[in-house]
A and B are shown apart, each in its own frame.
Chain A
Amino acid sequence: METLKFVHRISKGTRFNQIYIPHEMKEIFEVGDSVEVRLIEKRNTFYSSKKLELGEFKKKLSIEILNFLSQLNDVEQAFIVGSFLNSSDYGDVDILIISEKNLEGKVYSLLTERFGMKFHIIAIPKKRLEFLIKSCPLTRSMLYFFISNKKFELPKETVVDKGHIEFLLMMPKDLLEIKLASRVFYDNLRRLIAIGWFLENKEINPLEINKEIKREVKEGVFSSLKNNEELDEKAIEKLRGIIKAKIRKIEVLWERNELFKN
């Protein structure tokens, strides 16, 4: 029999998804005929945060990674987050996975083998993530820019969990007493800004956080912080002053928050 074919997209039905016979072929493909359905091309569906601007190379790679992850059992949803999305000097690709199982090791091995790149995997059960995106400034900042295989939106509603905020403040407070690598100072300045903006109910755009740090430290210090280069005592003391001021601001915001609640 001569091969008669047409190419169509699968459409969504109320109970089942379906493929319609084109009108001009209704005399050829009739009810009761046997047909073979073959997948030609997987639909490249992805969802991203509104403000994300991704170049062609990164977009193509992201879709490939997300398609790959979509095929894995137990991966409910996958996100690409972090510096890969908005910086040219990313060290690895940060992947966030919603899963009830601890898949970090397995996903890491599969991705590394398939793409030959460095990945950092975080796997979180759905319920935990749902709580964190409302209550954790760092998680909200992490998901400010994302690309995902399923729809996602950061909820506007936030929940202030004092214990969690105090937990996040432990490291910046430790830095007032101990000297660690400059990158740790940088990460904790970012953390403090994120916490402050969270308490002020502002958006936590990681690129804006960097601008805020740049405004507060000299250009040379900013570059040393980002590149984890040694800083002299004077610069460290200046950073401690900024950290102290930011912690104080957070405490004031916290007190206001409490007053507002009462």
Chain B
Amino acid sequence: MGKKRIIQELTNLLAKSLRHKIGGIVNKNEIYSQKYAKDAEILLKEAQKISLRENWNSRDKIEIKRELEKKLMKELEEKTFLDESKFNLASSEIIEVLRILELG
């Protein structure tokens, strides 16, 4: 699989993972998902596996960030049942997840 496709796959998973995480934070009653099902973590672990397949240079990292920002915005816009405060969390969560994956 080419690097471009891997970036697409990686950012798809990360955008979904962050959408779950942010949803759990802004929807106050999502204790079950935060503490039990941990959907965001499952998706992040999968993304982590993909991220480890490649050596990423600084240009790749910039592209990953740009793609992730675009996809996460789309994910959050589509999920109208999530509280509007979701948009305020997007950029800090992107920075955090890229730091965890050493892609920041």
With contacts A162-B81, A174-B16, A187-B37 taken as known, whether A180 is within 8 angstroms of B42 at the C-beta atoms is: yes
> Which residues, 85 to 131 on A, are CB-close (under 8 Å) to B?
122, 124, 128, 131
Report A184-210 CB contacts with B as 1/0, cut-off 8 Å. 100100010000000000000000000
With contacts A170-B39, A171-B39 taken as known, whether A135 is within 8 angstroms of B13 at the C-beta atoms is: no
Report A151-188 CB contacts with B as 1/0, cut-off 8 Å. 00000000001111011101100100110110010010
> Which residues, 47 to 91 on A, are CB-close (under 8 Å) to B?
none
CA of A138 to CA of B29, assembled, Å = 13
**A171 & B29 in contact (Cβ 8 Å cutoff):** no
Stretch from B19-27, B51-59, B93-101 at the A interface: B19-27
**Chain A residues with Cβ under 8 A from B36's Cβ?**
122, 138, 142
- Whether A136 sits at the interface, judged by CB under 8 Å, is yes
**B29 & A161 in contact (Cβ 8 Å cutoff):** yes
CA of A122 to CA of B38, assembled, Å = 12
CA of A124 to CA of B27, assembled, Å = 15
- Whether B46 sits at the interface, judged by CB under 8 Å, is yes
CA of A228 to CA of B46, assembled, Å = 14
With contacts A122-B36, A174-B16, A174-B43 taken as known, whether A167 is within 8 angstroms of B31 at the C-beta atoms is: no
CA of A6 to CA of B81, assembled, Å = 65
Question: Does more than half of chain A's interface fall in helix, strand or loop, or is it mixed?
Answer: helix
With contacts A128-B31, A132-B29, A138-B32 taken as known, whether A180 is within 8 angstroms of B37 at the C-beta atoms is: no
CA of A128 to CA of B27, assembled, Å = 12
Residue of B nearest to A179 (CB): B46
CA of A31 to CA of B27, assembled, Å = 61
Chain B interface bracket (under 10, 10 to 19, 20 to 34, 35 or more): 20 to 34
**B37 & A171 in contact (Cβ 8 Å cutoff):** yes
Residue of B nearest to A139 (CB): B32
CA of A44 to CA of B19, assembled, Å = 45
**Chain A residues with Cβ under 8 A from B70's Cβ?**
none
- A180's partner among B29, B31, B46 (CB-CB below 8 A) is B46
**Chain B residues with Cβ under 8 A from A142's Cβ?**
32, 36
- Whether B5 sits at the interface, judged by CB under 8 Å, is no
**Chain B residues with Cβ under 8 A from A180's Cβ?**
42-43, 46
**A166 & B81 in contact (Cβ 8 Å cutoff):** yes
Shortest 3 CB-CB contacts between residues of A and residues of B: A163-B81, A166-B81, A171-B39
Residues of chain B whose beta carbon lies under 8 Å from any beta carbon of chain A: 12-13, 16, 19-20, 23, 27, 29-33, 35-37, 39, 42-43, 46, 79, 81-82
5 A-B residue contacts at CB 8 Å?
A138-B32, A166-B81, A170-B19, A180-B42, A191-B37
